[in-house]
Amino acid sequence: MVDTEVSDARKDMDQLGFETKAFEALERDFQEVLTELVGDKSLERFRVEYEKLHRALKKSHESEKRLIKKCRELNSEIVANAAKVQTALKLSEEDQTTISALKKEIEKA
């Protein structure tokens, strides 16, 4: 059950954000538009704002990549801890069985 939840979570995280190719296409488009805007003085304010937006997009993209990486790390940690909890529960159950058996033995003696 835990494995399917982890698999689903990983698929969801993989679908987040820009794909590398899409981001590279945006970069090319930005450079093309910027080249067109550089020569036109009447569009100088627009170019400055366009560059600001582009920097904000890049920063957001980098932050998103860091967050996705961190999510994957935390997800792996959760999986590892879930396995430990499962093992601990199984051992606890076995201990309870052993305790019950020993109590019965003591009562018989």
The predicted structure's pLDDT at residue 4: 62
- One-letter amino acid at 10 equals R
> Is pLDDT of 1 > 70?
no
The predicted structure's pLDDT at residue 18: 54
pLDDT tens digits, 76-104: 999 999 999 999 999 999 999 999 999 99
Distances 50 to 17, 46, 59, 91, 98 between C-alpha atoms, Å? 21, 6, 14, 61, 71
The predicted structure's pLDDT at residue 5: 57
pLDDT tens digits, 20-69: 888 889 899 999 988 888 888 888 899 999 999 999 999 999 999 999 99
The predicted structure's pLDDT at residue 19: 77
C-alpha Rg value of the chain to the nearest Å: 28
Q: Higher pLDDT residue, 102 or 10? A: 102
Percent of the chain with pLDDT over 90: 59
The three-state DSSP-derived secondary structure of the chain is: CHHHHHHHHHHHHHHCCCCHHHHHHHHHHHHHHHHHHHCCHHHHHHHHHHHHHHHHHHHHHHHHHHHHHHHHHHHHHHHHHHHHHHHHHHHHHHHHHHHHHHHHHHHHC
- One-letter amino acid at 93 equals E
The predicted structure's pLDDT at residue 16: 56
